[in-house]
Structure 1
Amino acid sequence: MPKTMRLLHTSDWHLGHRFHGRIRHEEQACFLDWLLEQIEQQAVEVLLVAGDIFDTTTPGSRAQGLYYRFLHRLAASPCRHVVIIAGNHDSPSLLEAPRELLRQLDIHVVGTIDDRLEKEILLLKDRDNRPELLICAVPFLRDRDIRQAGVAETLEEKGRLLREGIRAHYQGICAQAEQMRQAIDPHLPLVAMGHLFVAGGRTQEGDGVRELSIGGLDRIEGASFPECIDYLALGHLHIGQLVAGNPLRRYSGAPLAMSFGEAGQDKQVLLLTGEGRNFSIKPLQVPTFQPLAILRGDLATLLETINDLKATTIPYWLELQYEGQAVIADLREQLMAAVANSHLSILRIRNNRIFDYALQQSQEAETLDELSVEEVFERCLEVHRIEDSQRQLLRQTFNELTRSLTQQEEGL
């Protein structure tokens, strides 16, 4: 009779992320507490984290503290194995620094690839030391990892080679894992993990999913993954969804909202029940730990809706979209006065008559050490009121520079 086991697929925690300037450590801690409860209640044996554990390659001490405390607490849970891969936001060297120590706790971390495909192939064993699961743990594949660029290469050619390199890497690692399976037990389940953008995937405006190449040239087709994979656990896209309509190939999505556009959107982690090579999937809805709301209308409508929310006890973070025709010079002041001394917080005001106000506020004093380089850059864009049409190009240039500096520091 096939062995039954339970796995949990999650990704894109983005620990250390700030929401329009607001520190989210408490909210993120609540999610990790809830996740641990689900692991215990559902008797989860294997936890899969498909990248973007942190929001930046230089996470602060509080974000790292959340991560390591969670891993420490897992030791007392039913979870026997944890598999973590790096995403594009993560520093491979930071994740892999305690790799050998974590391995003693059956926590497997793959931050980057090297010449050894076997580094990414994990054979997990049960309590009786018998093979129970094969995992191809493929981290985020950077351009430098999988191809050599030509001097006269066009943008289109660069994209084609990048896609071919990603596809070839998955084909190669899965072929080697399949050989292992046939030698051990043909009924052994094979799970593949990845952090990448599959063509046709849905995103949400403002959700923070970065374009990694101009025009999305790194997006690969869903058919690029080998058929031998029994379940594909992906990260990078923040909306939970199927890959190319296949229920056994999925993005779990980010467990916390990354933008106001996700207000009211259901967030999830995925509970997998495996019997041999057959998996059934049950989404577990993540509670809303910090309510968000978008209010739209003219000034009278906005003030009326704010008063209605003040009558509740829900501590909403608000985005206000002024849609009136009148130009109101003190619009911001009136709206801020309306929420003064209440449990409501206005984080953003969008005024279609003038411009957007980006209200970067924090409930505690900030120092430069607490801000990531990405956050400092975004603050500069806001302070200088750079037009949206120019911001994307500036972000792409900035991201290329920071990635280059990170690679030099890591010696990669």
Structure 2
Amino acid sequence: MRFIHTSDWHLGQTLHSAERGLEHQHFLDWLCTTLQEQKADALLIAGDIFDNANPSAASQKQFYRFLQQARNTLPELNIVIIAGNHDSPGRLEAPAPLLDVMGISIIGFVPRMADGSIDIARLVVPLRSAGEVVAWCLAIPFLRPGDVPRVETAVDPYMAGIARLYADAMQYALSLRQPGQAIIAMGHCHMVGGEISEDSERRIVIGGTEALSANIFDSNIAYAALGHLHMAQKVGKQEHLRYCGSPLPMSFAEVDYQHQVLCVDLSGEQVSQITPLHVPRAIELLRIPRQPAPLATVLAALTHLDLPVQTDASYHPFLEVRVRLDAPEPGLRASIEAALEGKPVRLAKIDTSFASKTRSEHSQTDIELASLEKFQPEDIFQRLYQDKYQQATPDNMLQAFHELLLSREDGL
């Protein structure tokens, strides 16, 4: 059996207000073609389908059109989808009755039976090839405290509940498995040691717990298809525990990531091969310079920026400009835009930082609350300016500050 592991599409995401529907459509078209070329038997989507819990109608249409096209292209394709922490479990499961007819399994939340107990059976999905079950998939969505069994005696009930749920699902799968059938785990979580992109991945901290141990995966699991982290990586250097990563960079911090999906081949109960399939970028993300530099250096680099001519502006690269300043630069944006005039690029972000400075053990801004009332607003403003820029406040800045105070007092 061969399946494709993907996750973290974040349909509907914007990059500093720029829509990314075109990039996502290129990926979905590529994925549909790849499924056909690879003759895949299954597609596992490990959460964060959408970028937020209330996705736009356009994003939902894009998603469901892809599912339809994938099934039309490969009528026997198994598709299993779980919710991530960005997804709305209820919204994701709403069309489940229709998707079931198409042979698509979607697990948004942990299902409960009438007595309140967890319906483990619904979390274990059969994967078929030529009509025969060849593997079982533990489809575990992003877990919140109310989703997991309560383990009263545990030091960390949430962690213990997650481990119990995975163990219960594993035992159920083992009770169903016949010789030669593999067991695959699919989850959306942050594993211990996973490398995170601070600019785009929402940290998951519940009860002081952030990362899960790889010990939650039983030794009988042939492969763990994980979602949440955007950088493709192994968990604990174990070949069979994998994050496939996001299919496109979700922030400029991810421009160097090798975005991919994973093609996994099973031979009986074990994985025989894992092959990364790199996703082509429809639109480039540029960081200029690679590290923050003085404004004069940055402007020179932008002036000499040589990019391929692209007549369709919707394919122009997104640009982050990284500037290191010694003091405020009121005309910063205008200077950058002038340097970029006529170039086929879209300025998405100006990242400013200030030259490092040595701070005394007690900063000038460390003012006791009890003495704060002794200071006038101008005094506090000047202290803050001195602390940040290591120089006295310029007269024009003081004048602007006074005008701001006056306008506030006048009720303007």
Shorter chain as normaliser: what TM range? 0.7 to 0.9
Equivalenced residue count is 339
Given that 2:134 and 2:180 are in contact with CA atoms closer than 8 Å, whether structure 1 keeps it comes out as no
Amino acid at match of 2:352: N
User: 1:351 corresponds to which residue?
Assistant: 352
Residues 10 and 269, structure 1, Cα contact 8 Å, conserved in 2: yes
Q: Tell me the CA shift for residue 95 of structure 1.
A: 1.2
The equivalent residue for 1:291 is: 284
Correspondence 1:16 to 2:6 = no
Residue 83 of structure 1, CA deviation = 0.4
Q: Whose RCO is larger (CA < 8 A, sep 6+)?
A: 1
Which runs of structure 2 are paired with 1:144-159 in the superposition (5 Å)?
144-147=146-149
* 1:144 Cα deviation after fit: 1.1
Name the amino acid aligned to 2:64. Answer: Y
- For residues 333-354 of structure 1, the C-alpha deviation after alignment (integer angstroms, 9 at most, x for no partner) is 1102222343211111122249
Matches within 5 A, 1:63-212: 63-78=59-74, 80-114=77-111, 115-127=118-130, 129-147=131-149, 160-181=156-177, 185-212=178-205
Q: Note if contact 2:151-2:160 (Cα within 8 Å) is conserved in structure 1.
A: no
Listed one character per residue, the Cα deviations across residues 134-171 of structure 1 (whole Å, up to 9, x for unaligned) are 11111111111115599xx9xx95xx111111111101
Corresponding residue of 1:328: 329
User: Retained in 2: the 8 A contact 1:192–1:232?
Assistant: yes
Q: 2:220 aligns with which of 220, 228, 233?
A: 228
Q: How far 1:68 sits from its partner (Å)?
A: 0.5
Q: Distance in 2 between matches of 1:7 and 1:147?
A: 30
Contact 2:41 2:128 in 1 (8 A): no
Q: Find the structure with the greater CA-based Rg.
A: 2
Matched, 1:254 2:246: yes
Give the match's secondary structure for 1:75: helix
Q: What amino acid is the match of 2:59?
A: A
**What is the CA deviation profile of residues 171-227 of structure 1, one whole-angstrom value per residue up to 9, with x for unaligned ones?**
11001101111xxx2211111100011111111221223333375x14211122111
**Counterparts of residues 256-295 of structure 1 (less than 5 Å):** 256-279=248-271, 280-295=273-288
What is the RMSD computed on CA atoms of the aligned residues? Answer: 2.1
Shift of 1:284: 0.5
Distance 1:177 1:147 in 2: 18
Q: Identity of counterpart residues, as a percentage?
A: 34
SS state of the match for residue 141, structure 2?
Answer: coil
Measured after TM superposition, the shift of residue 327 of structure 1 is 4.6
In structure 1, the gaps of 5 or more residues are 355-412
2:45/2:80 contact within 8 Å kept = yes
SS of 2:185's partner is strand
Q: Which amino acid is the alignment partner of residue 119 of structure 1?
A: R
How far apart in 2 are the matches of 1:261 and 1:313?
Answer: 26
What secondary structure does 1:144 align onto?
helix
Q: Deviations over 1:1-54 (max 9, x none)?
A: xxxx21000000000111111111111111101111111111111000000100
Give the counterpart letter for 1:242 in structure 2. Answer: K
- Secondary structure in 2 matching 1:8: strand
**In structure 1, what is the Cα distance between the partners aligned to 2:42 and 2:349?**
40
User: Normalised by the size of structure 1, how large is the TM-score?
Assistant: 0.78
1:295 aligns to what SS in structure 2? strand
Please say if residues 162 and 218 of structure 1, whose CA atoms lie closer than 8 Å, have aligned partners that are also in contact: no
CA distance in 2, matches of 1:207, 1:16: 14
Residue 193 of structure 1 aligns to a residue whose secondary structure is strand
Q: Which residue of 2 aligns with 1:316?
A: 317
Runs of 4+ in 1 over 4 A off after TM superposition: 147-150
Quick one: structure 1 residues 214 and 23, their matched pair in 2 at CA, closer, same or farther if it must change by over 3 Å? farther
Tell me, in whole angstroms, the C-alpha distance in 2 between the residues paired with 1:253 and 1:137. 18
Q: Report the Cα distance in structure 2 between the residues aligned to 1:187 and 1:246, rounded to whole angstroms.
A: 22
Task: Work out which of the residue numbers 55, 58, 65 in structure 1 matches 2:54.
Answer: 58
Separation in 2, partners of 1:328, 1:104: 60
Partner Cα separation in structure 2 for residue 80 and residue 249 of structure 1: 23
TM-score between both structures, scaled by the size of structure 2: 0.78
